[in-house]
């Protein structure tokens, strides 16, 4: 035995792996703390795997399975809750190892299985609410489309109350020894969980709400996601997070993002921030869009109600890193924010014009007219920025008192 057995119950095991090598999740989201790919094995009359892992860890993965079921042991079912390759990457290896395995998925799973891996056999199709009896365990399937892909579903094990939730309730960050929520300090995972949610699943708030409604009918004793800790002691807390995040509920605070080449727009951000503080706003975060990856900015924005964007002009339009940010926001379309924006024209402007269009598209409440300055802010411009920041603070305080 090389690897310790990690038990969720008497005969349900965590067989996941940690990835500390990949720099970017989906080749775009920074992973300074790595990521875990969780997979689970139910040992019963019919052995069953729930989701697999990314393909870079195949040897360890298969080794872990054999250590539990023994040499010559077999896997009868493989439940595919989600086809994204960070979880489906080992399906081919499982099929090769256990050619009789039944691959459990829904109508939308199998075209992906064929498209990504050329697998056209061993399909075991289920529909919403169907069950599979493994012997002592009974699996019930809950279809949860678009949390995160169209084929996504969850699997509920009835005898233990474990919900295998796919990406839902997942988090960036490896499992560094602690696997269960009560074995670790959760403060780290709260940030990484929200960064994961807001950037990966955040676009699908409505679908997450529908999934939460469906899940609320189940007696959940443990949540076993495909990323991050397994939740058994703080289930209400994570369900509360998901309810809040999927409804776009935010706290009092302001995220200020600036795009600045030589510091003039940054000074405008500083004026705005100081005014907000003088007005009693305590949660103020300033980000330099050139330096901070959008995923961290979007994470902060999922927490705080106020958003203030400032940008230099660049070639008659908006500064490129700010352009990337607003394009990303228009793609995700978070709701329920207050917006203020400002910019420097340089010689011909363009940044504020782009932010005008953004404001129209994103449909957030704009707290005050935009402030556009020529070259750099003078005394009058500074007064206009102060007025805009005061308007933001006042609207936030109205929420506080409502
Ligand atoms: Fe962790 Fe949508 O895959």
281 and 147 within one domain? no
Domain boundary among 246, 272, 301: 246
264 and 364 within one domain? yes
Type and span of the H or E element at 206:
helix 205-215
271 and 125 within one domain? no
Of 266, 256, 242, 252, the C-alpha closest to 373 is 266
Residue 170 resides in a domain:
yes
In the reported structure, the alpha carbon of residue 392 is separated from the centroid of ligand 1 by a whole-number distance in angstroms of: 36
Residue 226 resides in a domain:
yes
Of 53, 47, 69, 61, the C-alpha closest to 139 is 47
Instruction: Using the atom order of ligand 1, give the atom closest to the CA of residue 166.
Output: 1
Q: Which distant-in-sequence residues (6+ apart) come within 8 Å of 15 by Cβ?
A: 6, 39, 40, 41, 49, 61, 64, 65, 68
281 and 216 within one domain? no
264 and 329 within one domain? yes
Helix (H, G, I), strand (E, B) or coil at 320: helix
Residue 237 resides in a domain:
yes
Of 103, 95, 58, 62, the C-alpha closest to 79 is 103
Instruction: Using the atom order of ligand 1, give the atom closest to the CA of residue 152.
Output: 2
In the reported structure, the alpha carbon of residue 52 is separated from the centroid of ligand 1 by a whole-number distance in angstroms of: 11
Considering only CA atoms, which residue is closest to atom 1 of ligand 1?
167
pLDDT of residue 99: 98
Instruction: Using the atom order of ligand 1, give the atom closest to the CA of residue 226.
Output: 1
32/35 Cα distance (integer angstroms): 9
Cα dist from 106 to 113, 137, 335, 377, 397, whole Å = 11, 20, 31, 58, 48
CA atoms 360, 292, 202, 216: torsion sign = negative
274 and 205 within one domain? no
324/309 Cα distance (integer angstroms): 13
In the reported structure, the alpha carbon of residue 89 is separated from the centroid of ligand 1 by a whole-number distance in angstroms of: 11
Instruction: Using the atom order of ligand 1, give the atom closest to the CA of residue 200.
Output: 2
331 and 367 within one domain? yes
In the reported structure, the alpha carbon of residue 86 is separated from the centroid of ligand 1 by a whole-number distance in angstroms of: 6
Domain boundary among 195, 228, 246: 246
Residue 402 resides in a domain:
no
In the reported structure, the alpha carbon of residue 37 is separated from the centroid of ligand 1 by a whole-number distance in angstroms of: 9
Instruction: Using the atom order of ligand 1, give the atom closest to the CA of residue 37.
Output: 1
Q: Which distant-in-sequence residues (6+ apart) come within 8 Å of 115 by Cβ?
A: none
In the reported structure, the alpha carbon of residue 350 is separated from the centroid of ligand 1 by a whole-number distance in angstroms of: 37
The greatest distance separating any two alpha carbons of the chain, rounded to the nearest whole angstrom, comes to 80
Domain boundary among 193, 226, 246: 246
Domain that holds residue 87: 6-246
Cα dist from 23 to 88, 117, 172, 173, 228, whole Å = 20, 24, 12, 12, 17
Considering only CA atoms, which residue is closest to atom 3 of ligand 1?
84
Split into its structural domains, the chain has a count of 2
Are the C-beta atoms of residues 89 and 53 closer than 8 Å to each other?
Answer: yes
66/41 Cα distance (integer angstroms): 11
Residue 39 resides in a domain:
yes
Backbone angles phi, psi at 40, to 5 degrees: -135, 150
Residue 25 resides in a domain:
yes
Are the C-beta atoms of residues 313 and 343 closer than 8 Å to each other?
Answer: yes
Instruction: Using the atom order of ligand 1, give the atom closest to the CA of residue 170.
Output: 1
Type and span of the H or E element at 79:
strand 77-79
In the reported structure, the alpha carbon of residue 30 is separated from the centroid of ligand 1 by a whole-number distance in angstroms of: 15
* CATH number of the domain enclosing 298: 3.40.50.360
Instruction: Using the atom order of ligand 1, give the atom closest to the CA of residue 201.
Output: 2
In the reported structure, the alpha carbon of residue 204 is separated from the centroid of ligand 1 by a whole-number distance in angstroms of: 13
Residue 1 resides in a domain:
no
Type and span of the H or E element at 322:
helix 320-332
Q: Which distant-in-sequence residues (6+ apart) come within 8 Å of 193 by Cβ?
A: 169, 170, 171, 172, 228, 238, 241
Residue 127 resides in a domain:
yes
23/266 Cα distance (integer angstroms): 29
98 and 185 within one domain? yes
347 and 388 within one domain? yes
Residue reference for tokens 């706003």: 281
* CATH number of the domain enclosing 39: 3.60.15.10
Instruction: Using the atom order of ligand 1, give the atom closest to the CA of residue 148.
Output: 2
242 and 186 within one domain? yes
In the reported structure, the alpha carbon of residue 314 is separated from the centroid of ligand 1 by a whole-number distance in angstroms of: 36
Instruction: Using the atom order of ligand 1, give the atom closest to the CA of residue 149.
Output: 2
In the reported structure, the alpha carbon of residue 232 is separated from the centroid of ligand 1 by a whole-number distance in angstroms of: 21
In the reported structure, the alpha carbon of residue 149 is separated from the centroid of ligand 1 by a whole-number distance in angstroms of: 8
173/32 Cα distance (integer angstroms): 8
In the reported structure, the alpha carbon of residue 281 is separated from the centroid of ligand 1 by a whole-number distance in angstroms of: 36
Cα 123 → chain centroid: 29
297 and 280 within one domain? yes
**Residues at CB less than 6 angstroms from ligand 1:** 82, 84, 86-87, 148, 167, 226-227
302 and 231 within one domain? no
Spell out the per-residue pLDDT of the chain, length 402, in tens: 899 999 999 999 999 999 999 999 999 999 999 999 999 999 999 999 999 999 999 999 999 999 999 999 999 999 999 999 999 999 999 999 999 999 999 999 999 999 999 999 999 999 999 999 999 999 999 999 999 899 999 999 999 999 999 999 999 999 999 999 999 998 888 899 999 999 999 999 999 999 999 989 999 999 999 999 999 999 999 999 999 999 999 999 999 999 999 999 999 999 999 999 999 999 999 999 999 999 999 999 999 999 999 999 999 999 999 999 999 999 999 999 999 999 999 888 999 999 999 999 999 999 999 999 999 999 999 999 999 999 999 999 999 888
């Amino acid at each position: 035995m090389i690897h310790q057995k990690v038990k969720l119950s008497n005969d349900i095991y965590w067989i996941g792996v940690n990835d500390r090598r990949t720099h970017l999740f989906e080749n775009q989201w920074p992973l300074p703390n790595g990521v875990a790919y969780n997979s689970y094995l139910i040992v019963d009359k019919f052995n069953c795997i729930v989701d697999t892992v990314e393909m870079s860890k195949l040897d360890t993965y298969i080794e872990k399975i054999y250590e539990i079921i023994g040499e010559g042991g077999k896997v009868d079912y493989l439940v595919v809750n989600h086809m994204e390759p960070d979880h489906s990457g080992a399906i081919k290896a499982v099929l090769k190892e256990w050619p009789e395995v039944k691959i459990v998925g829904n109508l939308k799973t199998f075209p992906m299985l064929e498209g990504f891996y050329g697998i056209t056999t061993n399909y075991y199709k289920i529909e919403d609410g169907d069950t599979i009896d493994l012997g002592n365990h009974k699996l019930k399937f809950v279809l949860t489309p678009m949390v995160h892909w169209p084929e996504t579903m969850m699997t509920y094990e009835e005898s233990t109350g474990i919900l295998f939730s796919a990406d839902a309730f997942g988090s960036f960050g490896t499992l560094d020894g602690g696997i269960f929520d009560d074995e670790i300090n959760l403060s780290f995972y709260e940030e990484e969980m929200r960064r994961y949610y807001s950037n990966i699943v955040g676009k699908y708030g409505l679908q997450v709400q529908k999934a939460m409604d469906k899940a609320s009918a189940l007696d959940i004793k443990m949540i076993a996601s495909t990323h991050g800790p397994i939740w058994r002691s703080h289930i209400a807390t994570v369900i509360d997070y998901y309810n809040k995040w999927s409804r776009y509920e935010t706290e009092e605070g302001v995220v200020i993002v600036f795009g600045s080449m030589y510091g003039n727009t940054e000074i405008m951000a500083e004026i705005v921030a100081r005014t907000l503080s003088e007005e009693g706003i305590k949660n103020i975060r300033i980000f330099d869009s050139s330096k901070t990856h959008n995923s961290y900015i979007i994470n902060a924005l999922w927490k705080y109600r106020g958003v203030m964007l400032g940008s230099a002009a660049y070639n008659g339009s908006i500064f490129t890193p700010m352009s990337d940010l607003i394009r990303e926001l228009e793609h995700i379309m978070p709701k329920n924010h207050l917006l203020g924006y400002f910019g420097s024209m340089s010689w011909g402007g363009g940044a504020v014009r782009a932010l005008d269009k953004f404001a129209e598209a994103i449909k957030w409440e704009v707290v005050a007219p935009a402030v556009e300055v020529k070259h750099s802010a003078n005394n009058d411009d500074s007064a206009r920025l102060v007025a805009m920041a005061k308007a933001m603070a006042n609207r936030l305080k109205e929420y506080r008192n409502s």
